[in-house]
Structure 1
Amino acid sequence: MANVQSVNRSLSILEALAQSPKGIGLTELANKVNLAKSSAHRLLATLINKGYVVQNRETDEYLLGLKIIELSSALLENLDIRTVAKKTLEELCSQTNEVVHLCIHENGEVVYIDKFESDQTIRMHSRIGKRTMMHSTGVGKVLLSGMTADEVRSIIKEKGMVAFTPNTITQENVLFDCLEKINKEGYTIDEIENEEGIRCIAAPIYDYSGKIIAAISISGPENRVTKERIQSELIDLILQTADIVSKKMGYLRD
C-alpha cells in the first residue's frame, strides 16, 4: 500500500511535538522531521486550522492542540475491557493453571464478565454473567477499594454483609481496614471467604483517569492456591498482569 507523503509528514510533526511538551520553534521542528522550513510551515498551518496544533504567540513556538486530547479521550473511553484484557488473562491462566476471572461493579454487586478455565478440575460457582456480593470476594473488595467511604457504606446498607463461610468479613470496620490495605499493597486475598475450599488473590484494573474500572483474580482450591504459593508466585503474577491490562486501558502510573 502506497504511503501518502503529506500524511506521513504531518504525523511526524505531531510525534515530534509530543516529544516537546513545552513547545518547539519552526527551525528546530523542521530539522527534527527532516523537512524544509517552508514545507513544515505549510503543514503546521493546516494542523493549526484543524486544532491539532497551536502556536504560542509570545514565543512563536508550536505545541500540540486540544484536538489530540479529544481524540485520545474518545478512544480510551470506548475501549472494551474484555477485548483488551483477553489475551493477557489467557496468558495468566496458562501460567498459573488456575481459574482467572475478570469482574466489574454494577449496582452494588460484582459481575463476572469473563472467565478463563484451567486444565485442572475445579468446581466453582462463578460463571460469566453471575452476580455476587462485594464484601465476601477478592474482586469485590478490590472494586470497593476504589470507592469513597460513603459509597461503600451505602452498598453495605443496601446489600448487608452476609457470612458465606466462617472467614467472611461481616464487620464494617474490618472491611474498611481491608480496603485501606488494598490501597497500600495493590492486591487482596479472598481467604476462603466466599466459597468453602476456594482461595483467590485479586488486583485492580485502572483506566486512563486512574479510576478502578475492573478487577482480576486467580482462584483455585486451597490445597493448590496455598498461602506459600501466593507469596512466592501469585502476588507478582497478578500485579504484573493488572499493570499490563491497566496500561492497555490507558493508565499511566505516577
Structure 2
Amino acid sequence: METDGGERSISGSSYKRQDEKFKSVRRVFRIMDLVSERGEDLTAKQLAREIGTNLSSCYYLLGLLVDEGYIERVSQGGGYRIGPALPSLHQGKPRSDFDARIEPAVKELAHRTQRHAYAAVLWDGEVVVTQVKSPPRSPPVGVVKGFHGASHALALGKVLLASQGAEFVDGYIDDYGLEAFTPRTIVRPAELHAQLNKVRMVGVGADFEEFARNLCCVAAPIYSASGKVEGAIGLSTTTRRIRDEGQRMTSTVQRAAAEASTLLSDEPDIKDGKNRKSG
C-alpha cells in the first residue's frame, strides 16, 4: 500500500523479516568480537548462548565465517580464532595481491626441500601466517594458516619485528608481553633486542624449540622494489634434523626470499598494514 505522499509503506510482516535479517548481521559481528576476545575458549554451544540464538543457527553462521576465512577452527580444544581473511581485509586488496604473487616461491620452497614452508606478514603488531605449503602426504606441523601471535618466539615473527626497529619492538613488548611457550622462549627484553639486532645484520631469523618442542624454523625477509620488508618466508624442521640441515636450510630460505622479492619487483609499494594498536 502507499502513503499519502506516494511512498510505499512496509507491512508489519516485512518489518519482521527485515528485523530478522539485521539480527543475523548483528550476530555475525558479535561472533567476530567474541572470537577476537576469547574464541579459543568458546565452543559453538557457548557462542550460541552468547549471541542469543539456537545451536543450529550458530553453526550456520560459524560455517559461513569459516568458509570465507574470517575465522577458523582450532584443532585442539574446539574453539575458534580469527582467520587470514581479516588481515587482508584490513590491509586492502594490495596485500592479497602480495600473497598471490609470492605463492609460487612458497610452493617451490616446500617442493624443493620437502619441508613445510610458510609466508607471513606483520599486522597489528603480531605475525600473521598467510600461507602454509606442505610436501605431499605430510602431516600438519608447526603453525597453521591464519595463526597470529607469538612474534618473539617464531623465526617469521623475529624477521618481521627486526624490520621495524627498536622502538616498535618496545611497543610490541608493552602490548603483548613475552610469553614463554617453551623453556627456550626468549622472555627478557634485552635478549630479544640482541637477537633482533643479529637478525638485522645477517638477514635471517631462527627459532629452536622456542614456540613448540621439536620444532625449529628458519626465515628470511621478503622485500618490495624499494627495499621495504613486506613479509617473511620460512621453513620448519625437527630438532634432530636442524643439526644436519640448518646451514642448508638457511641458504635455501634466503634464495626463496630473493625469488619472492623478485616477484614483487614490478609492483608499487604495498600499503603498510603493520602498525601497532593505537591507544
TM-score, length-normalised on structure 1?
A: 0.64
- Note the aligned Cα RMSD (angstroms): 1.9
Instruction: Specify the alignment match of 1:216 in structure 2.
Output: 233
**Runs of 5+ consecutive residues of structure 2 not aligned to the other structure:** 1-93, 267-279
Instruction: Specify the alignment match of 2:118 in structure 1.
Output: 101
User: Aligned partners of 2:137 and 2:239: how far apart in 1?
Assistant: 13
User: Aligned partners of 2:227 and 2:96: how far apart in 1?
Assistant: 15
Identity of aligned residues (%): 27
1:140 aligns with 2:160: no
Residues 170-181 of structure 1 aligned to structure 2 (within 5 Å)? 170-181=187-198
Q: Equivalent of 1:235, from 242, 250, 266?
A: 250
Matched residue SS, 2:152:
coil
User: Aligned partners of 2:160 and 2:139: how far apart in 1?
Assistant: 25
Deviation at 1:220, TM superposition (A): 2.1
Deviation at 1:89, TM superposition (A): 1.4
Structure showing the higher helix proportion among its residues = 2
Q: Contact between 1:139 and 1:202, CA under 8 Å: does it hold in 2?
A: yes
Residue identity in the other structure for 1:185: V
Q: Which has the larger radius of gyration?
A: 1
User: Aligned partners of 2:148 and 2:95: how far apart in 1?
Assistant: 24
User: Aligned partners of 1:133 and 1:167: how far apart in 2?
Assistant: 13
Q: Equivalent of 2:217, from 186, 200, 206?
A: 200
Deviation at 1:240, TM superposition (A): 0.7
Instruction: Specify the alignment match of 1:16 in structure 2.
Output: none
Instruction: Specify the alignment match of 1:64 in structure 2.
Output: none
1:249 aligns with 2:264: yes
**Runs of 5+ consecutive residues of structure 1 not aligned to the other structure:** 1-76
Residue identity in the other structure for 1:227: R
Q: Contact between 1:199 and 1:222, CA under 8 Å: does it hold in 2?
A: yes
Matched residue SS, 1:219:
strand
User: Aligned partners of 1:79 and 1:111: how far apart in 2?
Assistant: 13
Shifted more, 121-130 versus 189-198: the winner is 121-130
Matched residue SS, 1:210:
coil
Deviation at 1:125, TM superposition (A): 4.9
Query: How many aligned residue pairs are there?
Result: 174
